[in-house]
Structure 1
Amino acid sequence: MSFKLKVNAYRRKIMRGLTGNIGKGSLDNIKENETISIKRVLVNRPNQRLGNTLLMTPLIQEIVKNYPNAEIDLFVKGKVSPIVFENYPQVKQIIELPKKPFKELIAYLNVWLKIRKHKYDLVINVDKQSSSGRLSTSFAQSKYKLFGDEFLSDTNQENQLHQAQYPVYQFRKFLELFDKIERTEAIPSLNIQLSAKEIEDGKKLLNEIVKDPTKKTLAFFTFATGTKCYDVVWWDEFYAMFYPKYEEEYNLIEILPVENISMLSHKLPEFYSKDVREIAAVMYNCELLIAADSGMMHLSCAAPVKTIGLFKSEGFLERYKPYGEGNAVVIAKDDNQAGVFAKMEELL
């Protein structure tokens, strides 16, 4: 582990220790038969990663379903949230923390002050492990606040919930305190809510790079960060399995990352874009996407398109695997290309 990673890990450990008790007993004052009116909600997820932002979409859909006229503000980090929630009209204000707070200290402090400008009916912290999420929830003005650990005392139960499900579960349990109605319907899937025009434009872009637009397309996203990434040798061996099987029946393409890196050594026709919604629109028009654990894997689920996620271990599998009906996950270690191929066969 690099020195920078060690420092960040140590910093997170200290901050979690300092903020872990913030919000304890925050719902203790709710009275029997108390009613609630929710017109404005603040959702806190100060993280700039694409995947973590997309994993918020089920919660936003759940809030809209229960309170379609409510206005939703987001407290986030970086520039990806306005892109992801572009077609969510209920999201009124996106309060963005700068990515590098120490270089933009005044702007950083001013963003925190924005949280205090409005009185909210409910504030939700998406990730209970987030120190800044807990702090921002505490700092906001609202009678009701969900810090993320109010309803899950059973660790085994918590570990069975996906990160996309967890805040929805918390929100539903909160509402049950007032209306006593148990909510058992399926939790919404990830959804970036592409418009009809975006989907049609994505189809045109895809047709420009495939050999035969009348065929369905299988897409591969081969890159990932750090230890999540499979090397060129792994992908070469996997290519030797899937290419002879599928190259006649399907179009095969690779979707490249912003780094413009191909772990397939540019063997397939490629699509490259820095536009997240444009990438999602191309994904939508594919039959299946195979991707290593990454934000692009979650983007595929949110397009939505059927997705196979590749994980090297089971450590965070249940929490971050491809979420949504029809998606699948494979523990694909350095020699498990056959397992991925078998899952493709199963889904196709």
Structure 2
Amino acid sequence: MTGSIKSGISCMDSVDRKCIKKVLIVRPNHRLGNQLLISPLIQEVHRMFPDSKIDLFVKGPLCRVLFHNDEAVDDIMTLPRKHFNDFFCYIAGWYKVRSKKYDLVINVVSTSSSGRIATKVARSTYKIFGDEADVNVLINLPYKKHIAVKPIYNLRTYFSALGYDEMTKELPLLKIQLSDAELLAGKEVLRRYIADDKKETIALFTFATGAKCYQQEWWQQFLQELKHRFDNYNIIEILPAENVSQIGFSIPAYYSKDLREIASVLANVRLFIGADSGMMHLAVAAGVTTVGLFSITKMDVYAPYGNLNKGIDTTRVTMDQLMDEINASLPQLN
């Protein structure tokens, strides 16, 4: 159905960046990770158009929680997760998108049919449908396949063609805006779960959906090695909403459904280790050094990037080599 929707950048022969005052970012997906992954694009739009107001068109309630303190975000328009169960809210969401007028609309993921439709429906002077920038332009640029970075490069490609020097600017990272009060509260929560508050803390997240989830036996071996190699650190587990543990709740386990509190706790630990998941992206956004464990999904698309963050393909390393990778990539933990 979306095949006839035109690709690429619409009606952008020339543009004065100062004229961009209202921007809509389109990502109608309800998952935690996918919503966090638009945070670099929000920062990029705010950098390029500092006087603009940014609206978001998403699915589900999480975005309002995640971007609660983000001054760059003006309005968040949502679709219900299950639109046939809440059909009137579903129609209202689409109507609101159509009722506003924008200077620029950016569809985050080109393969999202609902994203492309929303970009088509929205009233805007300029539209970016999310198609990849010229591979010849991106060939030497970092993270060019990453799902959080591709829409940034799409945006930069156009303005570079207009003579703006954009492509080599520093890339923004995932970020959740936490207040000082939230960070302090997170520190106090963490203290209830650690044995020695003079030691720094490593947080594990042992859950993931589907085939991304490592078996209990794997995690138990991992924990044993981690305790041996990093015995001068507290180690805690961050539990998922499902309240399950792949290590049998064998270490202090923190549980909450409050995403901002979880982020505040994570911001106070030294290292986060977990499989590819929304929680992994939340750790990155909270600013904690993050090691993502990958066995199924593509690291060049989803791995933590920037600072000391990294992804490790666990199918290519032994457990000892995995510990060496963690140790070598985080020298201050030595």
Q: TM-score, normalised by structure 1?
A: 0.89
Q: Against the structure 1 CA distance between its residues 273 and 334, is the aligned structure 2 distance closer, same or farther, given a 3 Å change threshold?
A: farther
User: Structure 2: how far apart are the matches of 1:293 and 1:40?
Assistant: 34
Q: Is the 8 A contact 1:35 1:178 kept in 2?
A: no
Residue aligning to 2:253: 270
1:195 offset after TM fit, Å? Answer: 1.2
Residue aligning to 1:255: 238
Q: Is the 8 A contact 2:133 2:154 kept in 1?
A: yes
1:20 offset after TM fit, Å? Answer: 3.4
Deviates further, 35-44 or 51-60? 35-44
Q: Against the structure 1 CA distance between its residues 156 and 150, is the aligned structure 2 distance closer, same or farther, given a 3 Å change threshold?
A: closer
User: Structure 2: how far apart are the matches of 1:156 and 1:91?
Assistant: 28
1:339 to 2:290 alignment: no
Deviates further, 177-186 or 265-274? 177-186
Structure 1: 5+ residue stretches without partners? 1-17
Q: Against the structure 1 CA distance between its residues 24 and 240, is the aligned structure 2 distance closer, same or farther, given a 3 Å change threshold?
A: closer
Q: Is the 8 A contact 1:332 1:339 kept in 2?
A: no
RMSD after superposition:
2.0
1:196-239 deviation digits (Å, cap 9, x = unpaired): 11111111111111011111001100000100001111111112
Q: Is the 8 A contact 1:234 1:337 kept in 2?
A: no
Instruction: State the aligned residue count.
Output: 327
Structure 2 letter corresponding to 1:211: A
Structure 1 letter corresponding to 2:327: E
Residue aligning to 2:202: 218
User: Structure 2: how far apart are the matches of 1:311 and 1:226?
Assistant: 13
User: Structure 2: how far apart are the matches of 1:65 and 1:309?
Assistant: 28
Structure 2 letter corresponding to 1:76: V
Q: Against the structure 1 CA distance between its residues 230 and 342, is the aligned structure 2 distance closer, same or farther, given a 3 Å change threshold?
A: same
Aligned counterpart in structure 2 of residue 293 of structure 1, from 259, 276, 286: 276
Q: Is the 8 A contact 2:229 2:323 kept in 1?
A: no
Aligned counterpart in structure 2 of residue 119 of structure 1, from 94, 101, 107: 101
Identity %: 43
In the TM superposition, 1:61-210 aligns within 5 A as: 61-149=43-131, 151-152=133-134, 157=139, 160-210=144-194
Aligned counterpart in structure 2 of residue 302 of structure 1, from 278, 285, 304: 285
Residue aligning to 2:16: 35
1:185 offset after TM fit, Å? Answer: 1.6
Structure 2 letter corresponding to 1:163: I
Q: Against the structure 1 CA distance between its residues 68 and 182, is the aligned structure 2 distance closer, same or farther, given a 3 Å change threshold?
A: closer
The DSSP-based 3-state class of the residue aligned with 1:330 is strand
